[in-house]
Structure 1
Amino acid sequence: MIVLEELGLDYETVYLNLSTNEIKDEKYTKYNPNGRIPTLVDHKNNDFVVWELGAIISYVTEKYGPTRTISFEKFEDKMHMLQWLFFQASGQGPYYGQASWFMLFASEKIPSAIVRYQKEIIRILGVLESVLSKQRWLVGEKFSAADVSFITWNHAAFRALVKDFEGFNLEKDFPSVNRWHNEMLSRPAVGKVFVKWQAW
């Protein structure tokens, strides 16, 4: 949603009830056979369907971002953006998601699993810090969809997943990530989407 807002696109959000496993219903899996969120149905392009966050971001920025406000024209920058989208999909998403599951939703608390995934969150933050300590944004010295892809899971991590982990201190331990995250939170598109989620 943040990418859609940043590009000024019209869209309709359909929320699914995860507690009733609505994402596994055939009404949804006909669009996304993996039964996960998000999924995009582009009514302006013959109801073209694409799922997986990185793929959705790539699709939207390529098709509807001709001015490249949050993407790139240069081939090498495009590949670096794709690199971060893959890192988000293979690193941040799964590890933060597992931490969330074991900490907040699992019927049985397994301390070793919780600590494992909290440590992975710290590791991912370390990777981000190592890059963001040298540059303002992840790619090409400008805010882009690469940055956007990390914001929601980071927000969840800072508020719940690692806030009490072994003296975790975002400002002290990861100052560049903290600066980056707060810069993104201050963007109008991000604020607008977060307000919608809180209302839901």
Structure 2
Amino acid sequence: MTKPIRVWVSPPGSNSWKVIFVIEELGLPYELVSLRFENIKKKPFTDVNPNGRVPAIEDPNTDMTLWETGAIIQYLIAQYDAEHKLSYATFKEQNLCNQWLMFQVSGQGPYYGQCTWFTYLHKEKIPSAIERYADEVRRVLGVLEGVLAAKPEPRWLVGDRMTFADMAFVPWNNRLELLLSVPEEKKWEGIPHVQAWHESMTSRPSWIKSMEVRARLMDEQGLDWNGMPKGTKSFHEYQESIAAADKSEEHP
């Protein structure tokens, strides 16, 4: 019997939920360690991931500790997707799936993350930075739209069914209206195939459950939609409160 995989997460960030989505879809048992933002770069988590970034996993079934979402997803597929529910057995399709996963972790994730940072979290508003990263978000969406539009129905990045490559894009695409500062009804303008692709995945029970877990953990930590404690006006204010708390612990 498979023992639960321990997954270290921080509820607000998108990256943790790529891994949870895959785990849920594979039906694997898991247990969560939910970290507050201020504890991500502290022990005990830095003993698991010295880089101090979530997610990370500890798998007692293989004695494997692993961090970086791309590596974790590839591991979960190799170890637990023997029936190729979310992957392919064929060499060509395996490599194409990995290609899209690498595009997600090197292209979508960093640009969307920087867009979030400069739009909402940076102490000073820098219009040129906000514009640059919003343009990069649109560029990535344009790449996805062009590729999906050229595919026959049903439209997936690789082959004729959903794989881990498709799933990896879902968490960051889930809040486009916030990233691009547009009304909800306008976030999919010009990218109808991305919308259909995205919504076909977010309607799955595995994603719905993942987001229910995320919402519960956010509530437990008293966090607003932006990942900051409710009532906090800015990320700078949040950082100052963390620094004050750390100083108080050092000099009680």
Q: TM-score, normalised by structure 1?
A: 0.93
Q: What is the distance in 2 between the residues matched to 1:173 and 1:13?
A: 38
- Which one of the candidate residues 157, 162, 165 is aligned to 2:180? 162
1:183 aligns with 2:209: no
Residue aligning to 1:151:
170
- Which one of the candidate residues 98, 113, 121 is aligned to 1:97? 113
Q: What is the distance in 2 between the residues matched to 1:16 and 1:61?
A: 25
Residue aligning to 2:239:
none
1:41–1:50 CA contact under 8 A, matched in 2: yes
Q: Could you report, residue by residue, the CA deviation over 1:46-78 in whole angstroms, capped at 9, with x for unpaired residues?
A: 2x1111111111000110110000011001111
Q: Could you report, residue by residue, the CA deviation over 1:139-175 in whole angstroms, capped at 9, with x for unpaired residues?
A: 111101001100000112x23101429xx94443100
Q: What is the distance in 2 between the residues matched to 1:50 and 1:70?
A: 20
1:192 aligns with 2:191: no
- State the aligned residue count: 194
Give the CA deviation at 1:29: 1.5
Which consecutive residues of structure 2, in runs of 5 or more, have no partner in the other structure?
Answer: 1-19, 218-252
Bigger Rg over Cα: 2
Q: What is the distance in 1 between the residues matched to 2:190 and 2:177?
A: 16
Residue aligning to 2:33:
14
Q: What is the distance in 2 between the residues matched to 1:134 and 1:5?
A: 30
1:58 aligns with 2:98: no
**SS state of the match for residue 212, structure 2?**
helix
User: Please, what is the CA RMSD of the aligned residues?
Assistant: 1.4
Residue aligning to 1:5:
24
* % identical equivalent positions: 43
Which consecutive residues of structure 1, in runs of 5 or more, have no partner in the other structure?
Answer: none
- Which one of the candidate residues 51, 56, 59 is aligned to 1:39? 56
**SS state of the match for residue 121, structure 1?**
helix
**SS state of the match for residue 13, structure 1?**
strand
Letter in 2 for 1:59: Y
2:97–2:158 CA contact under 8 A, matched in 1: yes
Q: 1:169 to 1:146 in 2, by over 3 A?
A: same
Letter in 1 for 2:150: K
1:170–1:178 CA contact under 8 A, matched in 2: no
1:39–1:51 CA contact under 8 A, matched in 2: yes
Residue aligning to 2:45:
28
**SS state of the match for residue 66, structure 2?**
strand
Q: What is the distance in 2 between the residues matched to 1:120 and 1:189?
A: 29
Q: What is the distance in 2 between the residues matched to 1:154 and 1:171?
A: 10
Q: Name segments (4+ residues, structure 1) moved above 4 Å.
A: none
2:177–2:187 CA contact under 8 A, matched in 1: no
Residue aligning to 1:112:
128
**SS state of the match for residue 61, structure 2?**
helix
Q: 1:171 to 1:94 in 2, by over 3 A?
A: closer
